[in-house]
Amino acid sequence: MSHDSTAAPEAAVRKLSGRRRKEIVAVLLFSGGPIFESSIPLSVFGIDRQDAGVPRYRLLVSAGEEGPLRTTGGLELTAPNGLEAISRAGTVVVPAWRSITSPPPEEALDALRRAHEEGARIVGLCTGAFVLAAAGLLDGRPATTHWMYAPTLAKRYPSVHVDPRELFVDDGDVLTSAGTAAGIDLCLHIVRTDHGNEAAGALARRLVVPPRRSGGQERYLDRSLPEEIGADPLAEVVAWALEHLHEQFDVETLAARAYMSRRTFDRRFRSLTGSAPLQWLITQRVLQAQRLLETSDYSVDEVAGRCGFRSPVALRGHFRRQLGSSPAAYRAAYRARRPQGEKQTDPDGSPPPAPPPVLQQEASVPFQTRRTAAAHAVGTAATSSLSTDSGRSDSGRSDSGRPGGRAGAELYATGRHSLPGQRSAP
């Protein structure tokens, strides 16, 4: 159950029933779904590319509800099949769902449950994970979705083990992916699983994308947060934490400011964000360090102090685990990619004079009020499984940048290594 290469657990894979065929892929569409995400499995599995060495799939496009199906830009689609077509598929893909807060049609959920019971592989791309969760197919399983929706998925379906760091998660017969581009990653992974690396590589070249992307979603995070979390009273405590990241404080300090015991605070924080407060706090410190390395000339030791780490060693350990690079290597790689002539600035947008006594937030982040600040911050709560400020942590990975022009085309064609400071896929 990892980003790409982990084998599916044998116990999780059911035998495919006799009426289903492995080569048949059903794509389940709903009204209100974004057309880009919906088109990904249609393009991957619905076009005959046998001339390029890509084995052919048989595609069945199915409507999950009565049509016509309205999509992006007011377009109307008519699917050639209904839910009955799912009964023949060995793989069922839900590329998107129109709302992360509304329930999918029960008829579609029943069809997905039957398909799963009969051994079909069930795939949810981006918000399609909410449909799988509503059908109960993610209960007790690891899953991912777009980082922006991960806190909501964790809150609405607490039995799902949401991991917003991954581009996709393969748990055998149930697979989920993050946002749009990660849907392509997962579809390529399915081709690789079915037909091997050569077939997946051939398809990637036709699509002009890398056959394997390194890293996870960390590089794409911002401070967005569903409004239902940002309105909580704990947002005041989170806002205070963001304003004082340059100070050394712990979760006990935050619990005291919320007038709660540590245990109650932990439970309340988890229920809102899907993550432990210590995980969130370390992630915020690392993200602040990342911004300072990008926008200032402070030494690594100074960055560590300005982000509340007790020592540069603590910063280096957490930074490497979360972003797959040392702070120095990350800064070097960032500057190498930065447009020539771009001036170095401090986080407040001005050139770096003498270090200010209090660290200011990045000017591009709209912090109109303390509550708004918290609403834009807790969204990164579920983005890391870091455990302590002194050492232990799950590893995080950064996604590699995409160089443009000729160099970019060579990267996609030959699978060259990523830039310094970026971890390659295993």
Q: Which helix (H) or strand (E) holds 22?
A: strand 21-29
Q: Which helix (H) or strand (E) holds 262?
A: helix 262-273
User: Cα angle at 61 between 111 and 38, to 5 degrees?
Assistant: 100
Which range (89-98, 277-286, 298-307) has the least confidence? 277-286
**Lookup: tokens for 73:** 């830009």
Does residue 207 have a pLDDT over 80?
yes
- Count other Cβ atoms within 10 Å, centred on residue 302: 14
Which pairing describes strands 174-177 and 121-124: parallel, antiparallel, or unpaired?
Answer: parallel
Task: Give residue 82's pLDDT.
Answer: 94
Nearest to 221 by CA among 170, 286, 124, 277: 286
Neighbour order of strands in the sheet with 89-94: 58-63, 21-29, 89-94, 121-124, 174-177, 168-170
**Lookup: tokens for 359:** 């660290």
* Distance separating alpha carbons of residues 218 and 229, to the nearest angstrom: 20
Cβ–Cβ < 8 Å for 224, 232: no
End-to-end CA distance of the chain: 14
Which pairing describes strands 121-124 and 142-143: parallel, antiparallel, or unpaired?
Answer: unpaired
Q: Which helix (H) or strand (E) holds 131?
A: helix 128-134
Does residue 419 have a pLDDT over 70?
no
Q: Rounded mean pLDDT of 207-212?
A: 85
What are the Cα distances from residue 355, in Å, to 286, 291, 316, 359, 360?
19, 15, 21, 9, 11
Does residue 74 have a pLDDT over 60?
yes
* Higher-scoring residue by pLDDT: 218, 2: 218
**DSSP structure class, residue 382:** G
Cβ–Cβ < 8 Å for 147, 177: no
* Distance separating alpha carbons of residues 203 and 323, to the nearest angstrom: 29
Instruction: State the pLDDT confidence band at 13, using cuts at 50, 70 and 90.
Output: low
What is the percent of the chain where pLDDT is above 70?
70
Q: Count of residues for the chain?
A: 426
Q: Rounded mean pLDDT of 28-52?
A: 91
Nearest to 155 by CA among 275, 325, 272, 58: 272
* Distance separating alpha carbons of residues 422 and 256, to the nearest angstrom: 38
- Tracing tokens 């964790």 back to the chain, one arrives at 154
225-257: pLDDT as tens digits:
444 455 566 777 887 888 888 899 999 999 998
* Distance separating alpha carbons of residues 43 and 261, to the nearest angstrom: 53
159-204: pLDDT as tens digits:
898 887 788 999 999 999 998 889 999 999 999 999 999 999 999 9
Asked, as a colleague might, if the bond just before 420 is cis with ω within 30 of 0, I would say no
User: Cα angle at 422 between 274 and 201, to 5 degrees?
Assistant: 95
Nearest to 424 by CA among 398, 403, 402: 398
Instruction: State the pLDDT confidence band at 371, using cuts at 50, 70 and 90.
Output: very low
Task: Give residue 311's pLDDT.
Answer: 93
CATH numbers and ranges of domains, the chain = 10-213 (3.40.50.880), 227-383 (1.10.10.60)
What is the percent of the chain where pLDDT is above 90?
40
Instruction: State the pLDDT confidence band at 403, using cuts at 50, 70 and 90.
Output: very low
Task: Give residue 162's pLDDT.
Answer: 85
DSSP letter for each residue of 172-234? SSEEEE-SHHHHHHHHHHHHHHHH-HHHHHHHHHHHTS-SS--S-SGGG--S---HHHHTSTH
Task: Give residue 317's pLDDT.
Answer: 92
Task: Give residue 406's pLDDT.
Answer: 33
Task: Give residue 53's pLDDT.
Answer: 86
Cβ–Cβ < 8 Å for 125, 177: yes
3-state secondary structure at position 349 = coil
Q: Rounded mean pLDDT of 142-155?
A: 85
Q: How big, in percent rounded to 5, are the helix, strand and coil portions of the chain?
A: 45, 10, 45
